[in-house]
Amino acid sequence: MGDRIILHNMTFRGFHGTLAAERELGQQFEVDVELHLDLSRAIASDDLRDTADYSRAHTIAREEVEQRQYQLVEKLAGSIAQRVLDELPIAAVVVRVRKPHVSLPGVLGYSGVEVERRRP
């Protein structure tokens, strides 16, 4: 199935990381969520009831970044993915979390992680 709804580059402030300073000072996180589902009914009906309401996916991502605290972005991305899969009528979800301000020597655009979860 090639249909998907994409939320790209949502930006939230969170307090995640393995360093104490990251958890105390916080930083910006960028999140992408791709909802994989058959959109043929929604295309035919033009009715929100026939698709996945992506505002819920946005709310889940915001809540996980802003209201929870994890050491690893892997856990953050996995938590977003699992909640989206549990709460929306989709076949699969891909979540990307980027941390644009990484404390490493040299030039680095961001560090990030991508997780994909599917229904069994």
Active-site residues, by number, are 99
8 Å CB contact between 94 and 112? no
Please check whether residue 25 is in contact with residue 79, taking contact to mean a CB–CB distance below 8 angstroms.
no
- Alpha carbons within 13 angstroms on the beta-carbon side of residue 117 total 16
Q: What whole-number distance in Å separates Cα of residue 90 and Cα of residue 26?
A: 32
